[in-house]
Amino acid sequence: MGSIAVVDYGMGNLRSVAKALEHVDVRGRVEVTQNAARIRRADRVVFPGQGAIRDCMGELRRLELDEAVREAARNKPFLGICMGMQALLEFSDENGGVECLGLLPGRVRHFRDGFAEAGVPAPGKVPHMGWNAVRQTRTHPLWEGIADTTSFYFVHSYFVELLPDDLTVGEADYGVTFTAAVAQANIFAAQFHPEKSQQAGLALLANFSRWDGQMQVPLDQAR
């Protein structure tokens, strides 16, 4: 169990994430914080968020949290949610193009550009908002007890281009196929919102609260 720090950089429904974590981790301590030292001391770190990537990166730097987030993502069980997933990548097309934290390779694109490149009509409104099935492309401790193609709740206009098989652990479709969950070493990050995904989301958060940061399965093991 231990302590879980939820990174507060002024964006997203942080209290909902914290309450969901408290619900599944009643013996642990969940703290929403802007304090870099507390983030470094926590046993686990959650990096959530909603909004625009330029604001996200700007606030991380203004609050001097960017290095604390990088350190946590290298050294302890780390969960990125929505914007917290996109910010881990190298580059986002949002806001005219923004360099992100660069902890994972990959690019974030707007759905309309993805539809145009794929030559497909928009399957619905953008942002992509609502429930969507996630295919578990690789086994991971955070999928434990969650059936393949379980639906999770999404809210986003930008998507992560399909990443290599050794990084992607979940895919979803919305006109184009995109990486819905990514994992590398002690990092797990999801485009969907576990805190809004009812029992499946709570199960994933409970798995995270127990996770030791090890993949525990061969990188080439697929479902």
Residues with a known catalytic role:
82, 193, 195
Cβ atoms within 10 Å, residue 1: 12
Pull the structure tokens for residue 45.
């770190």
Pull the structure tokens for residue 52.
């625009």
157: buried, middle or exposed (CB in 10 Å: 19+, 13-18, 0-12)? middle
Strands (E), the chain: 3-7, 29-33, 44-47, 78-81, 91-92, 98-99, 107-110, 128-133, 135-136, 151-156, 158-160, 168-174, 176-184, 187-190
Pull the structure tokens for residue 203.
């199960």
Rounded to whole angstroms, how far apart are CA atoms 206 and 144?
10
